Structure 1
Amino acid sequence: MQSRLVPMMSACLSTSDKTETNPIQITILIVKRKFVLKSIQFLALSLFLLALSPILHAQVRMDVTAGANKWGYAGAVGGIYQKWDGSDVTVTTTLNLTQADAKKGNLPRECFVGIVIQDAKQSTRYVAGLFNPGYAKQHKRLPVGLVRHEKRGNWKPISVKEHTLPADQSLQLQVVFRNGKLTLSGCEIGGELKELLTWNAPKGFKPNLIGLAADGFRNGFGPVLFENFQVQGDGPAHSDAFDGKQNQAVWQKVAGKRVLIHMPETFKASLQIDDRKFIFNRGRDVSMNLSVSGAKYIGQTLLLHVRVFNDQQQVVHDAVSQIENAFAEGRWSITIPKADISRCGVYRLDVTVGQQDQPIHKLYGQFAIIEPHPATGSQDPDSPYVFCWGQNQLPVLERLGMHWLRNSWYLHELIPQDAKGQYNFDKRIDRWFKHSSQYGLSPMGPICNIRITDHTSKAIEDYVKANVNIIKQAKARYGDQFRLIEIGNEPENWPMAPLADQWLTMARAQTLITERVHQDVPGVQVMSTGTTHVNMGFLSQLAVIGGPNAADLIGVHGYRCPSPPEFGHVQDITAIQSLFPGKPIWCNEQAYFAQPADYQPTYDNPDIKPLELDELTQGIYLPRLFMSQFAAGYAGVSWFAWDSNHGLTDSPTHVRPAAVTLATLTRLLPHPQFKRRLTPRNSELWALQFQSDDQLITSIWSLGPHYVVTVNPLEIDKAYDVYGNELTLQEDAGLADLAIGQAPVYLRGPVGNLLAIRKTTSQDPSPYPLLKNEKPSAQPLKIRILPKVTSLNQSQLLVRLTNTTSQTHSGTLAIKFNEKMANFYRAPLPSAWRIIPADNGRFTVDGNQSIDVLCSIVSDDPSMPFDPYASNQGFVAAWWLSGYFFAARATLDDQQVVDHIMTRGTSLRAIPYCPNVKIDGQLADWQDVPVFPQLGNLVRNSGLNKFWQGRADYSPQFQLAWNDHGLLLAAQVTDDIQYQPYHAKDLWRCDSLQLAINADVEHPSPVSFHVMTMGLPANQKPEVYRQRSTMDRPAGLVADAQIRVTRTEGDYERDGLTTYEVMIPWSQITPFRPNQNRLNFSIQFNDADGWERKGWEGWFIPMGGHLIDPNCMGDLTLVK
């Protein structure tokens, strides 16, 4: 379709422009005389149109928002400058003050505009043009002359006593510097330049900056328009017609915060954002504005081409509009009919501005369509949904179904205390509460920046009083709107008390604050400080010091990116509830990180972001995370934050799918109460049922495989996809089938049971939407990089090339270490290391077939060989990431290029066959087995690392081997305090080690790998406990495992040492067989130090403290 579009005029006006049309003044005049009305209406309309008139020609615009003291040279003068070399120069410009006015109708005291010429070395500056030496006056009476600051001297203007320049029109000004003398000339447009004054500059004056300026002593004014800049001379500056063609890098802007400077461009366009934040309600037309500026196409006809794509890359809207008589600045309106965007989800917006078939400017965006939420404007204290740091998105957060707003209360920044102990809430907190109440959100958040100076009673009392004082004043100020407060945030990262006694001081203070608030501030609940992940060390100290009532709610943080969201929550909740029976537990900060919209690492730039997911996976994980946490027992869940890699948006004009999936979840489950799970806990199919108000909602999703689930349609009122679109159930013989993938499906109604479950075949419809890793590859080749370890002395790589087409492909393979990854994690790669593919990388792979290319890792320096058993060079080691990382490129003979950048590391290690090892706790028979050493401070999580006192405090190392009976493990843990009061399923809560083993390396599944926890309980009977059920093994003690644990207490001569020796039978590591040759592993060491677990470290462990992700494991190759 094509239509004519009338451009909206630019609303680029100053405050003074707006005040010219004062409606009160007009009303008074109407009362006095009728005949005045028409005159006033005409005058008001004229002024209004003048204020709104777009810039119709090329020019630089300056708006002075506020002046500054210009009496002395030191005060920077706002404007644009170019460098000069001190030689003679002539500068000419056209100045327009037609629209300029001050906030009260006149140009303000001591303002000036014109050509600037400056010698910074001599501290001398001149501004030649118009200026006001006294109080506010109309610009048509302004003098012409020089504003001088000589040799750091004060303001000394020189004016032309008489001139005939029409100051209410455009003026041409010229400054000539020649032989130490300045000459100012001027005339009206079309006239002949006339010399107005001359001035002898100080001896030695050599200008190093020339340009254009607008500034003043106190008040703002504008706009001031400069239509050109012409320079003559031998120096480095460039003339500029201000048509957007000159490279703007030649200009330097000065005083940019006070003087808003608009430089012309050839053409520029941007999408404008309003309170809807690019998230629109379904069932309505979508309208948005396009802000445009540019000098090249003034007065010409342009075409605006708008296309919209759904998430299946199908065009749903395609429209071309004609813009006639284009302005240099303006706003163009875009409307997308509701019929074209009738489904909830995200839509890509492509906008092209051009002429005929020639595009001038392209821009892209991604907006969201959601099902409208009932906006009540009232708070909902029963809602479990918390949003962190969303104070600038309140209207849209209400539409997304959020009811709690979590922001940090920084004492010195937000609520400074006066001498009488009163806090200045009106600086920022008042605004949060006022605006939050309009949109049904309850403000909460941690009080930060108050510290306990030491452990003495006085220091603790001062800390307690300060916090309670803030809470008391806030309650008096905000009443029932203020219900919940946190005390501090992440004590591991920003400790609020001295570290010597760990968190005991903080625990005591938290307890006293809760008691005082209950006593003095009824109606406010206190949440414990949100710990980084689930810090059982802090929580156990809080429980011991303060008892179960040390806080009203318990707060923890739940970051675990990029691992799946379902596992580990039950363990955490069970452990916390044992310390604080009956207390609500909130995960008050968490998020899944997402890659930027334009993220595309390449072989040449392998800038991978290993913790970040693609944005669709982030959007699918969000509801799965929240529902898994509700099912485990969390009373509150949160998301952090609106933008950046955590957020629901990548940029103001790019909304991620997570915004839509969140809106769907909160609309269908506003008050979720978990009822039951309809599938076994060791199943890859999840089906959770919740009661929410008077609705029964069942949500079903898969952890990987696609399923067909049969249900009784009579039990289902409505069915929805993850975006909230209604699904049509196709009934057959009284049954209905659902296609289930990794995206949740919601069923509203009294679903009893799932009648049948089977994995899909090629004849079944695909689930919607498909995640990135579920979609067929669009590349001609699929690349995998695999370990090829043949002995303890030889580690190589296999690059598996799979042809995804029916045609034969030939080409050349290149592979390298990912140097960016290694450098970022402080594991620099030796330059001597190289990877050489067989046959110089040449390959041929038939259609729909795979081949393996063997690649050797070599070193050009014999003194620096590649040794995966050293792990001190090139090996990335962090508590969320481990391994060697590689990048590969296949260049096909037809010039197609396929890149593959590894996001999960490899160990390239072998473990030896040791038939003679005896499980007796003595490690003499392990002497020839390579050691996995401790890898440095990055492998310790924050709870452990911030309190680590050196190797004697905690330092583990381990060895792995195998024999015909099972997998062998030996570990030596240097630990000053061995503490383990628990056994069986709770061993992980204190000193222990956990070994995860995945036997199915080709098909890793979250429910098929094995997690064994090993520890020495207080009864001195060591245990091996299967921490989680698998498809064919229930959780429980592993009776046929052999384990010996010995403990040597430390003294002045030696460090404390706990030694583990274990054999896990192959029968417990299904479906592994020794001739299979390879398995994957993670190992985690938990440290308690006399309380519960304060932290952990290990090899190939995921973020969060639980071994839940088989995809982050490292490889082990069994060799003889």
Structure 2
Amino acid sequence: MLTFPRRFKMLLAFALSLVFVLPPVPATGRAHAETGLRPTAIGSFEAPEGWKLSLGPEFPGAQGEFVLDTEAALSGEQSGKLTGDFSGGGTYVELLRLLPKYDAADLSFSVQTADVTRVGLRLTDSTGQVHQQRIALQSTTDWQSFTITKFNGGAQYAHWGGANDGVWHPPAKQISFVLERTAIGGGKKIGTARFDDVTMSIPTPELELQQTKLGNVFIGDEPASLRVLTAGTSVSAVVFDYWGIPAAEQTAEADGDGYAELSFSGLESGYYTANLTALDADGGAIAEATTSLAVLPPFDSGAAADSPFGMATHFGQTWGLELMPLIKEAGVGSIRDESNWSAVEKPKGVYTFPSKVEAYMGEAQANDIKPFIIFAYGNSYYDNGSTPHSDDGRQGFANYSREVVRHFDQVEWAEVYNEFNIQFGDQGNGPADSRPDYYYKLLKKTYETVKAEKPGLTVVGGATSGIPTGWLEELFRLGGLNYMDAVSVHPYRYPGNPETLAKDLADLEELIKRYNNGQPKPIWITELGWPTQQDGRGVSESVQAEYIVRSHVVSLASGVEKVYWYDFMNDGTSTTNGEHNFGIVRNAGDDLGKNVPKPAYVSYATMTRQLAGKSFVKAESICEDVYGYLFDGEGDPVRVLWATEPKEVRVKTNSPIVITDMMGRTDTYSPLNGYVYLSLSGSPVYVQGNVSQISEGGKFILTGKTSAPGTPVRLELTVDNTEPPRGRIQAELQVEGSVYPIDVMPHGTKKIPFEVEGRDTPQTRTVTAYVVRDGQKVARLTADVAVADPVQAKVKHVRNGDQDALRVSVSNALDDAITLTDIQWQIGGQSDTFAANVQIPGGSADSADLPVPELTAGQTYPVSLTLNFEGYSQIAYEGKLAVVAEEDLKPFSQHTIEVDGSLDDLTGVPSVDLAAEGEVKMNGYGGAEDLSGQIWGTWDSENLYLSVKVHDDVFSQTSRGESIWQGDGIQFGVSPGLPGESGEWYEYGLALTPEGPEVYRWIAAPGMTIGTVDNATLAVTRDEDAKETVYELALPWEELEPALAEDGVIGFSILVNDNDGQGRKGWIEWGAGIGTGKNSSLFKAIKLVGPE
């Protein structure tokens, strides 16, 4: 925010050592001869360049726009025009962009304005600290130019965030120009400033990634070219495909300006990473960088126009239009975006569409992409800005919606609101409270109004977070289906698998039929995605690439008409923020490069090319864990196949078939005695051709053994010719450039061992091999092989009596014994060496407990350990240790309960009074009679137990599975050690569903599945007279690993949800980190104590 604490207030003056006012001379490309610096343009405004508008969200009310303006420019054809409109309040608007990691010596820019007296300059350093100063402007309409040489100084200097120490920590991460309401002269409320020739003087970087095409996405025969700027004399690059196989390498000399360009021709379709190294004159490495790129076949965008493939975007907020061609090349037929009511109607009754909305609608049309518009949110001129709830508010919302479709004739589909059933339907202080009856009235009025304007418009209603059965049923009971042409839902289930969509969508269709005279109504999924953040809620980038295909195929097979992936671009660069990781291309500020692809971009583009213009025909029953779906269009059938567990299948055919993998690589396979043989995994493949049957089994099985980093990966091909057809198999195995002969007689078997190149770091190595006969491929085989250290260590916080310790567990996969001799440790500012002397035989595991030194409670300390061995190399560990005061450790007693739905005698067992000790998170809470309860946590060597008695005036739970959180029930989280120490944790749900008690797991440690938990015992009883619900749970510790009973401590949080039949009202929580946001560091610290 542009405010100045009292300690920063000072006389407004120019410090000439900090700011130079210069004649308006455009920047040139020549380096400063004396300093070795080069002017680098970051704001020529001849293109968007990543500049974005912010409306000062911490002070709501400001409006504004940013456009590339051709009316006035200092150099070139355009400038950046920033306008701030404070008629409705607010404090400032801001023009900002992310920067490459520039270690800049100075910043130069030019400003032209007729009504602004000063501009604010904000520079964000490498720590995230914002440094702000104000630049006074002369009273002239001429261009004024400035050079800033001190970034942590200047007039009215202030700093906040990051290191927050007033010290400039290079490099710069972001720049912004700020237009304040108080800087507009003459009492005006609207002001404009133009900016041009924004440059930074920087040293030539050791290695800086640049691009010849935005996002490094190359189409057809285009060479994949990479451009870099370097202080070295040359740059070398090695390009690897999706599976880590080297695909190309090249070295290029840098020119006199330090630029080098590498060009790779002939790359097959797919996702690639490029590792680049800058070299000095002697060939020594001076810097390294990595980027990603994609190679795609051409795509007929006309085939996508009416396809089911849509993408959620944010052009109506801050995204740059340069992304639109990347969206088009991915095969996207339509985008779901917004033109929010608050930005369109101001003042009341006057409708003006922001230039950014006009621009993205035009750009979408130019790229043959259809817009799907959300009618969204509130307006300060109605219902005090709350969610529309009055007749006037609803009519105002409907009138705004009518103006959107009237103004943009290209709009064929529109959605009424967004996720009304959660917080978006409870904005402000109005009574809407996310209730379905209020949504129904808004939907009805909007439908009637926009249909009168444009009868052919498809109006989509619902737009719910998840598939809240009870909320939707109430909406349908009220008559909501009469006022929507399609029903939309957002059935997120990350990090769980997408196959569970089928049942949920089938249940939704049955619910629709129940309230629609037995007839279906089109279902649209208008948000669905799997983020790749690095915590318990995220999936890996490879899993995202698989799930984006599998979720679309399952949805289409379930009758869904359109699917909109959320969303196209990562919205930031944090590795632990979900919103920053949903995208299929990276953020403009990503270290790998501006908007470069993730693997999911390529798998999505492959899917659209395979399925556009085709319709779902049927699901094929093959075998357990294998999914097969047939699509067809104009007699060109294609099957999509995958398996949730590795499987071998045989494809019966009498003619060659074409198999395309997830990355778009296509091969032709000919039958061997009537069959083509195929390995299936979680990575979908497409099969085209005349196929009569697909069944489990095969003559060829590829397996691998875990290998240590830096060693070859060992595999084995088993050829089994004992089952019919049994003709002699004379062929060859081709794998990564090597060939091995195959000759197996009928009724015979043969094992062929071989090796492929290993990897230097732990990972999963996917090996693909082909069986070739007479030059024709007859089998495509894959195996995932672990590359892992044979000796591994894990560390967690435990408690032995009253003594905290770090338990260091070591597993030894070697043949020989090793000895953990000692542990060198540093915890906070203390360090020492602990004598462990633990011998660990080959093929076994053992542990040592490192006592924690005395530390101040209430803090989290960094931990560094070095494990020294006899018989093996050192292992280093970095982590965190939380120290909690004894009085802040909440006790769970050792006490076994009988799970029968009737509370055991828990006299003397510590409990939690939910109403007294919990925190209420709901509007309209009616006190203890509305929702209250008591919670007991206990344990024994086998189970963690929960006993909960809830008083709830109205019981309502109509959901099942991943949606049980939307009805009455319980959510709780468990983490190993103490809160904030571990990135591994669990979130469970308990509910009395229409089918009975259910335990569901949303978040789990690696290796544990998401979904309904059968290995748990739950009893739930409801006493309607007493308005009490009792939950009793026995959860085996194996469902909580690495947390164990003998650890003595866990992190724990619990909440009780409340739904009175109108949707989820809210909850009461003890602990946090579940309901409002997922953060295990907010859990309660629990000690597991002996029996009372």
- TM class, shorter-chain normalised? 0.5 to 0.7
Contact 1:484 1:525 in 2 (8 A): yes
1:669 to 595, 611, 620: 611
CA apart distance, 1:278: 1.0
Which of 707, 716, 725 in structure 1 is aligned with 2:647?
707
1:629 to 555, 559, 581: 555
Whole-angstrom CA distance in 1 between matches of 2:237 and 2:908: 69
Q: Write the distance in 2 (CA, Å) between the matches of 1:258 and 1:455.
A: 37
Q: Tell me which of 361, 377, 387 is aligned to 2:312.
A: 387
Structure label with greater radius of gyration? 1
Decide whether the 8 Å contact of 2:629 with 2:641 is kept in 1. Answer: yes
- Provide closer, same or farther for how the CA distance between residues 400 and 768 of structure 1 changes in structure 2, counting only shifts above 3 A: farther
- Indicate conservation of the 8 Å contact 2:28/2:39, yes or no: no
Q: Secondary structure at the match of 2:327?
A: helix
SS in 2 for 1:972: strand
Contact kept, 8 Å, 2:647 with 2:696, in 1: the verdict is: no
Q: Distance in 1 between matches of 2:459 and 2:222?
A: 42
Q: 1:855 aligns with which of 849, 854, 859?
A: 849
What is the CA–CA distance in structure 2 between the aligned matches of 1:456 and 1:784, rounded to whole Å?
50
The structural deviation recorded for 1:513 is 0.5
Q: Indicate which of 623, 627, 634 corresponds to 1:686.
A: 627
Which secondary structure state, in structure 1, belongs to the residue aligned with residue 442 of structure 2? helix
Give the secondary structure class of the aligned counterpart of 2:566: strand
Partner of 2:331: 401
After TM superposition, the structure 1 = structure 2 runs for residues 151-166 of structure 1, keeping only pairs within 5 Å, are none
Aligned pairs for 1:331-342 (under 5 A) are 331-338=259-266, 341-342=267-268
For residues 458 and 1095 of structure 1, what CA distance do their matches in structure 2 show? 20
User: Once the 2 structures are TM-superposed, how far is the Cα of residue 886 of structure 1 from its aligned partner?
Assistant: 10
Kindly state the Cα deviation for residue 890 of structure 1 after the two structures are TM-superposed.
3.9
Which residue of structure 2 lines up, in the alignment, with residue 1053 of structure 1?
none
Alpha-carbon offset, residue 514 of structure 1 = 1.2
Q: Could you tell me how far apart the structure 2 residues matched to 1:968 and 1:65 are? A: 60
Map 1:758-773 → 2, pairs under 5 A: 761-762=703-704, 763-764=716-717, 769=766
Contact 1:433–1:443 under 8 Å retained in 2: yes
The one-letter code matched in structure 1 to 2:905 is D
- Tell me the equivalent position of 1:614: 540
How far is 1:729 from its partner?
Answer: 4.0
- The within-5 A match list for 1:476-875 is 476-489=406-419, 492-494=422-424, 495-496=426-427, 498-502=429-433, 503=435, 504-528=437-461, 530-536=463-469, 538-567=471-500, 570-571=503-504, 574-575=507-508, 578-579=511-512, 581=516, 582-595=520-533, 609-637=535-563, 638-643=565-570, 644=572, 645-650=581-586, 651=590, 652-653=593-594, 654-670=596-612, 673-679=615-621, 683-691=624-632, 694-703=635-644, 705-714=645-654, 717-727=657-667, 729=669, 731-749=671-689, 751=691, 753-757=693-697, 761-762=703-704, 763-764=716-717, 769=766, 775-784=785-794, 799-805=808-814, 809-811=818-820, 840-846=835-841, 849-855=843-849
Contact 1:400 1:662 in 2 (8 A): yes
Answer yes or no: is 1:1088 the counterpart of 2:1059: yes
1:275-318 CA distances to partner (integer Å, 9 max, x unpaired)? 542111254312343356x7xx9xxxx33333323344444333
Secondary structure of the 2:463 match is coil
* Partner SS, residue 640 of structure 1: coil
Q: Contact (CA 8 Å) 2:234, 2:252: kept in 1 or not?
A: yes
Partner Cα distance (1:1118, 1:248) in 2: 50
Residue number in structure 2 paired with 1:207: none
- Please tell me whether residue 973 in structure 1 is matched to residue 950 in structure 2: yes
CA distance in 1, matches of 2:510, 2:474: 14
| Cα pair distance change 1:945/1:309, threshold 3 Å | farther
Change (3 A) 1:874 1:408: farther
* Residues 557 and 1024 (structure 1), Cα distance of their counterparts in 2 relative to 1, 3 Å cut: closer
Q: Deviations over 1:992-1030 (max 9, x none)?
A: 569999xxxxxxxxxxx999975387xxxx9447999xx
Q: Secondary structure at the match of 2:511?
A: helix
Q: Matched residues in 2 for 1:743 and 1:1101: separation?
A: 37
Q: Is the 8 A contact 1:558 1:1104 kept in 2?
A: no
Tell me by how many angstroms 1:512 deviates: 1.3
Letter aligned with residue 897 of structure 1: I
Distance change in 2, residues 1:569/1:457 (3 Å): closer
Deviation at 1:642? 0.9
Q: Which residue of 2 aligns with 1:36?
A: none
Whether contact under 8 Å (2:1018, 2:1032) holds in the other structure is no
Matched, 1:262 2:190: no
Q: Distance in 2 between matches of 1:788 and 1:1096?
A: 31
Specify whether residues 331 and 472 from structure 1 end up closer, same or farther in structure 2 by C-alpha distance, changes over 3 A only.
Answer: farther
Cα deviation digits, residues 793-836 of structure 1 (max 9, x gap): 9999865423355565544676999x9xxxxxxxxxxx99x999
1:85: which partner in 2?
none
Report deviation, 1:400. 0.5
Alpha-carbon shift at residue 573 of structure 1 (Å): 5.3
Deviates more, 1:728-737 or 1:658-667: 728-737
Contact 1:891–1:898 (8 Å) recurs in 2: no
- Paired residue type of 2:792: K
Deviation at residue 786 of structure 1 after TM alignment: 8.0
Is the 8 Å Cα contact of residues 721 and 744 (structure 1) preserved in structure 2? yes
AA partner of residue 484 (structure 2): A
Per-residue deviation, residues 234-259 of structure 1 (Å, max 9, x unmatched): xxxxxxxxxxxx99899x99989656
CA distance in 1, matches of 2:490, 2:890: 34
**What residue in structure 2 maps to residue 868 of structure 1?**
none
* SS of structure 2 residue aligned to 1:306: strand
**Equivalent of 2:296, from 370, 382, 388?**
370
Deviation at 1:973, TM superposition (A): 1.7
Q: Does 1:305 align with 2:236?
A: yes
RMSD: 6.3
1:423 aligned residue: 351
What does 1:100-249 correspond to in 2, within 5 Å?
217-220=140-143
Give the deviation of 1:619 after TM superposition.
Answer: 2.0
Q: Which residue of 462, 466, 470 maps to 2:392?
A: 462
Closer/same/farther in 2, CA of residues 440 and 255 from structure 1, 3 Å limit:
closer
Give the fraction of aligned pairs with identical amino acids, expressed as a percent.
16
For structure 2, list consecutive stretches of 5 or more residues without a partner in the other structure: 1-21, 46-72, 78-116, 118-134, 150-167, 179-194, 316-320, 573-580, 705-715, 719-734, 736-763, 769-781, 882-888, 975-985, 1002-1010, 1040-1044
Find the aligned partners of 2:973 and 2:281 in 1 and give their Cα distance. Answer: 62
Paired AA for residue 444 in structure 2? T
Summarize the Cα distance change of 1:886–1:400 in structure 2 as closer, same or farther, 3 Å threshold.
farther
SS at match of 1:355: coil
- Once the two structures are TM-superposed, the CA of residue 366 in structure 1 deviates from its matched residue by 1.4
The offset of 1:488, in angstroms, is: 4.2
Name the amino acid aligned to 1:669.
Answer: L
**Residue 239 of structure 2: SS of its match in structure 1?**
strand
Cα shift readout 1:259-281 (whole Å, capped 9, x = no counterpart): 62431414455333365421112
Q: What residue in structure 1 maps to residue 707 of structure 2?
A: none
One-letter code aligned to 1:744:
P
- SS of alignment partner, residue 408 of structure 2: helix
Whose strand fraction is larger, Structure 1's or Structure 2's?
A: 2
Residue by residue, what CA displacement relative to the aligned partner does 1:900-920 show, whole Å, maximum 9, x if unpaired? 8799xxx999886758x5847
1:507–1:622 Cα change, 3 Å: same
Instruction: Return the TM-score normalized by structure 2.
Output: 0.60
Shift of 1:660: 0.8
Give distance in 2, aligned partners of 1:213 and 1:634: 58
Q: Which residue of 2 aligns with 1:867?
A: none
- Which whole-Å CA distance do the structure 2 matches of 1:902 and 1:389 have between them? 37
1:354, CA displacement in angstroms? 2.7
CA gap of 1:945–1:693, structure 2 versus 1, over 3 A, is farther
C-alpha distance in 2 between matches for 1:646 and 1:984: 23
Question: 1:735 is aligned with what amino acid?
Answer: Y
In structure 1, how many angstroms separate the alpha carbons of the residues matched to 2:297 and 2:880? 38
1:982 & 1:843 partners in 2: Cα distance?
51
Provide the C-alpha distance between the structure 1 equivalents of 2:495 and 2:216, rounded to a whole number of angstroms: 27
Residues 706 and 1063 of structure 1: is their aligned pair in 2 closer, same or farther, counting only changes over 3 Å? closer
SS at match of 1:513: helix
Query: Residues 675 and 285 from structure 1, CA distance in 2 versus in 1: closer, same or farther, beyond 3 angstroms?
Result: same
Structure 1 SS opposite 2:247: strand
